[in-house]
């Protein structure tokens, strides 16, 4: 899978995309991450990519012609690549979006800068995303976040194919608590069920802890999560007062 990034600061991507899991995936040829300097498509000796907004106002606006020229070249290099515009006005990026985008042949990210971008750029993109209700200096960090979330779902990137399946949000819920050695630390013990070897009980315990933690921390997720009858009964038990499952290990 290819990730192409249009940015004024391509050097920002060298270290994050060359380390850890992503770096190994690049080395193994599972993904390609290519940061392109938008100035290469800008006209004139000074390669200007921004200009003052029509109608007046503060700041500068990203020009349409360098962006569209770059998109046409990149789409020719990777036919079928989906173009992603990073903007606070886009829909909020989710784990479900990451899974859908991981099935694409290639993605092109447009990283905005300045006060904004020429509205006509929108006619040349496929989807707009935001990573949250806050403002960044540019779209580069948002692109890195999305690439990390998407790339780890590309087959082979994580090595263990089941690793991503248990992540928070993968099934609409937060992840269950995790433990490793030692079995006891400063009086805090690992729940006995995890030491039992009973995989059915372990799975049941983990599911209930997912439901419990989600109800406590992100109850909004429960509305859209796929819940079984047993799940719903357990959630109802969390409201039953003293002695409820909420307080059980």
Question: Where is the binding site, in residues?
Answer: 112, 131-136
Active-site residue, 88 included: yes
Q: Which residues pair with 184 in a beta bridge?
A: 189
Residue from 97, 115, 175, 245 carrying the catalytic annotation:
115
Please state, in angstroms and rounded to a whole number, the distance separating the CA atoms of residues 127 and 146.
Answer: 13
Active-site residue, 152 included: yes
List, as residue ranges, the binding site for S-adenosyl-L-methionine: 112, 131-136
108 contacts 6 by C-beta, under 8 angstroms: yes
211 contacts 242 by C-beta, under 8 angstroms: no
Please state, in angstroms and rounded to a whole number, the distance separating the CA atoms of residues 235 and 239.
Answer: 7
Residue from 16, 66, 152, 208 carrying the catalytic annotation:
152
Active-site residue, 115 included: yes
Q: Which residues pair with 82 in a beta bridge?
A: 107
Residue from 34, 53, 65, 88 carrying the catalytic annotation:
88
Active-site residue, 167 included: yes
Residue from 167, 171, 175, 245 carrying the catalytic annotation:
167
Q: How far is CA 30 from the centre of its chain?
A: 18
E strand or H helix at 3, and its extent?
strand 2-7
Residues labelled catalytic: 88, 115, 152, 167
């Amino acid at each position: 899978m290819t990730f192409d990034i249009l940015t004024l600061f391509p050097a920002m991507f060298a270290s994050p995309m060359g380390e850890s899991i992503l770096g190994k995936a690049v080395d193994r040829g599972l993904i390609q991450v290519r940061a392109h300097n938008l100035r290469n498509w800008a006209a004139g000796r000074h390669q200007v990519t921004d200009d003052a907004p029509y109608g007046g106002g503060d700041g500068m606006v990203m020009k349409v012609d360098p962006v569209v020229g770059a998109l046409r070249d990149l789409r020719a290099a990777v036919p079928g690549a989906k173009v992603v515009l990073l903007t606070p006005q886009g829909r909020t990026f989710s784990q479900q979006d990451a899974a859908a985008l991981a099935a694409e042949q290639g993605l092109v990210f447009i990283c905005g800068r300045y006060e904004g971008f020429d509205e006509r750029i929108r006619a040349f993109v496929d989807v707009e995303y935001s990573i949250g209700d806050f403002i960044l200096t540019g779209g580069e960090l948002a692109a890195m976040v999305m690439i990390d979330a998407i790339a780890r779902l590309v087959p082979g990137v994580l090595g263990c194919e089941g690793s991503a399946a248990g992540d928070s949000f993968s099934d609409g819920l937060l992840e269950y608590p995790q433990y490793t050695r030692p079995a006891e630390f400063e009086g805090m013990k690992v729940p006995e069920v995890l030491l039992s070897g009973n995989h059915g009980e372990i799975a049941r315990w983990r599911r209930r802890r997912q439901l419990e933690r989600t109800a406590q921390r992100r109850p909004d997720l429960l509305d859209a999560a796929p819940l079984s009858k047993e799940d719903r009964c357990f959630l109802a038990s969390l409201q039953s007062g003293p002695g409820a499952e909420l307080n059980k290990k």
